[in-house]
Homo-oligomer: A and B are copies of this chain.
Amino acid sequence: MTYRLPSLNSLRAFEAAARHLSFKTAASELGVTPGAVSQQVKKLEASLGVALFRRLPHGLLLTGAGETYLPRISRVFEDLTDATEEIAPDINGRKFTLGLCPKAAALLPEGWPAQRDALHPHVRQTIETSDVERIRRDEIDCLIRTGGGPYGDLALVELPNPTDRSGRSKLHFICKNGLADCRQSKAILADLGAVILPGS
């Protein structure tokens, strides 16, 4: 049936790099080093015999081929994800257990996230904690706290403090690398964004 295909690993590297236009960011999403992404993309380009990126001193651009390839590859990964979730709902559909430190909770609306309907499909329960290690121990999937860091190999998303528009004090959303872009995290972050910056 299929005769020759590029390897999935290199396609994932390409897809992430093309989406971010950065090997470094892609590497962080994939949980590997930038060198690995660079090598995978180079391997892909070699196997296709076509350049996909134009390397500029600061950042990347897609070539024409890369431009037409990206949306189709992204689509393929989406289809694959959908098909996989259909038969194995647990693989990506698991609800998150969310850690929330008291200080952060005080900055958020009363009862968040329980009363946000949009989060029901994604959040199983909320635990009051500020211990980052519980992410590594898989006791919680993500943690919202006010300060701290650095968090080593964990992914970090910063959110402006809703009561401190100066931007000095921040809310931190922390999770395992590679989980920052999953549906659950996105839903939570979108909801927080809505809470914090209504209408923006």
Which A positions have Cβ atoms within 8 angstroms of B?
Answer: 1-9, 11-12, 15-16, 19, 29, 47-50, 65, 68-69, 72-84, 86-88, 90-92, 178-179, 181-183
How far is it, in angstroms, between the C-alpha of A81 and the C-alpha of B72 when the chains are bound?
10
How far is it, in angstroms, between the C-alpha of A75 and the C-alpha of B16 when the chains are bound?
22
CB distance from A64 to the nearest CB of B (A): 8
* Cβ–Cβ contact A81 & B5, under 8 A: yes
Known: A49-B88, A69-B83. A74 touches B8 (CB 8 A): no
* Cβ–Cβ contact A178 & B84, under 8 A: no
Q: Show 23 A/B contacts (Cβ-Cβ < 8 Å), sorted by A.
A: A2-B12, A2-B78, A2-B181, A3-B179, A3-B182, A4-B178, A4-B182, A5-B12, A5-B77, A5-B80, A8-B8, A8-B9, A48-B87, A48-B88, A48-B91, A49-B88, A50-B87, A50-B88, A69-B84, A69-B86, A69-B87, A72-B82, A76-B80
Residue of A3, A7, A11, A69 with highest tally of chain B CB at under 10 A: A3
CB distance from A156 to the nearest CB of B (A): 17
CB distance from A50 to the nearest CB of B (A): 5
* Cβ–Cβ contact B4 & A49, under 8 A: no
* Cβ–Cβ contact A68 & B87, under 8 A: yes
CB distance from A28 to the nearest CB of B (A): 13
Given A3-B183, A49-B90, A76-B79, 13 more pairs with CB closer than 8 A:
A1-B16, A1-B77, A2-B77, A3-B182, A5-B12, A48-B91, A49-B88, A50-B87, A69-B86, A72-B83, A72-B86, A73-B83, A79-B79
Which 9 residue pairs are nearest across A and B when measured between Cβ atoms? Answer: A8-B8, A3-B182, A72-B83, A48-B88, A65-B87, A50-B88, A69-B87, A2-B77, A1-B181
Q: Which residues of B contact A77 (CB under 8 A)?
A: 1-2, 5
Residue of A50, A80, A182 with highest tally of chain B CB at under 10 A: A80
How far is it, in angstroms, between the C-alpha of A15 and the C-alpha of B83 when the chains are bound?
13
